Structure formats: structure tokens, C-alpha cells
Amino acid sequence: MVAAISTLSDWAIPALIFFIPVYAFLRRVGVYESFVAGAQEGFTTAVKIIPFLVGMLVAIGVFRASGAMQVFAAWLNPLIQPLGLPAELLPLAIMRPLSGGGALGITAALINTYGPDSLVGRLASVMQGSTDTTFYVLTVYFGSVGIRKYRYALLLGLTADIVGLVASVLFTNWYFGR
């Protein structure tokens, strides 16, 4: 099953790059002209997100480097304990929605320190894989169309993250505790 899906992942991009232009050519589309017309938008979209990305990454960078994150984790710890989340994983839980690179760094450190087949290592792996960098995604996606008022999007994203986090703890304990 895993091998089949991973083969599908490997083949997906080459298949798209082959199939789309060939199909379009058969439908008499000027394939190269279409490609260039579409590709033109790539630059403007990427440039448009810069101010949003700078604002968000600077705030997250300052929060991490100053040590505020550890203080926040210490405050949050009593609230998180009843969920059965080991304290070592709290920094990862906080970092996961903020920064993909930061979270991956913490996950790698936890896996290497506690071992990949320990409870902490397994939990870190599941948490890393089961939620996304909500802040980063919102920043980039809304930034690309110039939207500054997120309405309930952030609340919604964080709700999904928290449910995903709690579910990670429960399912990991259940799956490896059987």
C-alpha cells in the first residue's frame, strides 16, 4: 500500500508534464503560447507575497529567538498535560502551525534524541505529518491576492490544528499501545 502510493507520487509529476501538453496539442491548442501566457503570472504572484511573508516570518523569528516560545510552552504545559502529550513535544505543537522549517528542525531533533521508535519519536513523526503550517499558508495565500482581513480563516485553521494534534496523541497511543 505504502509502496504503491509512493510510486504514484513519483509518477504524478512526469505524467502531468507529459499528458497535459500532448492532450492539449491533440485538441489543437497552441501549447507553447499557452504555457508562456500562464507562466507570466508566476513572477507577479511570487513578488506580491513578499510583504506578507516578511511581516509574518519576522514576527515568528523574533518570537523563537528571544526565548518567548519556551516561556509560552511552560505556561501552556499544565493545560496540555491532561491530553497525555509529553512535555518534550510542546515546543513542536506550538511551532507546527507557525513555521514549517522550524517544526521540521524540532521533529528531527526529537527523533534523533529520543530514537525514532520511542513514544516521543513516534508522536513527533505523526504530529509533523498530520497538520500543516497554518500561519504560513494563510500568509502566502491571502497575500497573493492582497487580502488583509482574514475573517474566521485563522480561527478555522487553528481549530483544525488543535483537533489534529489531539487526534495525533490519541491515535499514536492507541496504535502503538495495542
Partner 1 sequence: MVNLIWLLLLAGGGVAAVINGNVAVVTQAAFTAATDAVQIAFELVGLMALWLGLLKIAEDAGLVALLARAVHPLMRRLFPSIPRHHPALGAILMNLTASLLGLGNAATPFGLKAMQEMQRLNPNPDEASEAMCTFLALNTSCITLIPATVIGLRAAAGSVNPAEIVGPTILATTCGTVAAIIADQFLRRYYRWRG
Residues between 67 and 126 with contacts to partner 1, criterion CB under 8 A: 67-68, 71-72, 104, 107-108, 111-112, 115-117, 121-122, 125-126
Cα angle 110, 166, 111 (rounded to 5 degrees) comes to: 10
Site for partner 1 in 7-66 (CB under 8 A): 8-9, 12-13, 16-17, 20-21, 23-24, 27, 29-31, 34-43, 45-47, 49-50, 53-66
Q: Contact between 156 and partner 1 (CB under 8 A)?
A: yes
Distance separating alpha carbons of residues 101 and 122, to the nearest angstrom: 19
The whole-angstrom separation of Cα 61 and Cα 141 is 20
Give 1's DSSP letter.
-
Q: Name residue 69's amino acid.
A: M
Phi/psi at 10 (5° precision): -65, -35
Of residues 55 and 81, the one with the C-beta less far from partner 1: 55
Closest distance between partner 1 and the C-beta of residue 87, in Å? 19
CB nearer to partner 1: give 91 or 133: 133
**What does the alpha-carbon distance between residue 165 and residue 123 come to, in Å, rounded to a whole number?**
10
CB nearer to partner 1: give 88 or 142.
142
What minimum distance in Å lies between the beta carbon of 136 and partner 1? Answer: 9
Q: CA-CA distance, 97 to 75, in Å (whole number)?
A: 18
Q: Closest approach of Cβ 154 to partner 1, in Å?
A: 5
